[in-house]
Every structure is written in structure tokens, then in C-alpha cells.
Amino acid sequence: MDKIEHIGIAVKNLEVSKQLFAKIFGTQPYKEEEVASEGVRTSFFKSGPNKVELLEATNPESPIAKFLEKKGEGVHHIAFAVEDIVAEIARLKGEGFVILNETPKKGADNKLVAFLHPKGTNGVLVELCQEIKQG
Ligand code: ZN
């Protein structure tokens, strides 16, 4: 596993939270994207080498809606950059972790992603994240 790629934060209202985080970082989000399959609208900030993803639910069945119901707003996941997501999934599965997406799926920001079940990771939702290479 490589560096932390980004931290995901669940928010109730993306417009309100965008303004809040724009004040914190002193910069506007560099990207906004809706991932319909996940029922989320995302907004990405960059501050120095660090990235933060704000996530808002777009429907009540969205995993973000369920998270907000259970835990309220706050840190939702930590994403680690990996070179080869298929190999990392196989390695972590071999270590006994439950992988929520054994076949990586397309996430926001041009990434292939997979999540580890938080029950096996001290309650921390861990995202593996591989840049989709062009060509
Ligand atoms: Zn993420």
C-alpha cells in the first residue's frame, strides 16, 4: 500500500460543506462528480499534497445516507493508493479481511476502488484506490 490518497467525509449538504471546507483550505474544490451507481455526489479538495472528498447522498438507499443516519456527519473512509488493486485485494483477502468489492469498481476521480469491511478494521472503512491508466 502506498500513501493516503484521500480522506472521505460524509456530509448532509454538499453546497454548505463545500463553502466550509473552502474556508478551511483557502481554495475551491477542483472537481465535482456524481457516481450514480453509489448514490453519491462528491466534491474534491486539494490542499498541498492532501486530498479530501466530500460525499453527499443522492438517494435514501445510498451508503452515505445510511452512514449519516447511523453516525452523523464526519470521517467516512480513508483511501490508500495502490499500484495493483487486484493484487492488493487478493493479498488482503488472504489475510482474512472481508472485501466489500472483490471485483474493483469504478469510483470518482478516475479511480478503481474497493472497500474493506469496517467490521474487520477497527471500524475504519478502508478504500483501496488505483488510478485508471489511460490507453
Ligand atoms: Zn473515496
Answer yes or no: are the C-beta atoms of 5 and 79 closer than 8 Å: yes
105 Cα: distance to centroid of ligand 1 (angstroms): 12
Please report, for residues 11, 43, 54, 72, 107, the alpha-carbon distance to residue 17 in angstroms, rounded to integers and kept in the order given: 7, 10, 8, 14, 21
Question: What is the mean predicted confidence (pLDDT) over 46-62?
Answer: 95
87 Cα: distance to centroid of ligand 1 (angstroms): 19
78 Cα: distance to centroid of ligand 1 (angstroms): 7
Question: What is the mean predicted confidence (pLDDT) over 3-20?
Answer: 97
Cell triple for residue 96?
482474512
The model's pLDDT over 21-47, given as tens digits with 9 standing for 90+, comes to 999 999 999 999 998 888 999 999 999
111 Cα: distance to centroid of ligand 1 (angstroms): 9
64/41 Cα distance (integer angstroms): 10
Question: What is the mean predicted confidence (pLDDT) over 109-115?
Answer: 91
54/129 Cα distance (integer angstroms): 16
Q: What is the pTM of this model?
A: 0.92
33 Cα: distance to centroid of ligand 1 (angstroms): 12
6 Cα: distance to centroid of ligand 1 (angstroms): 6
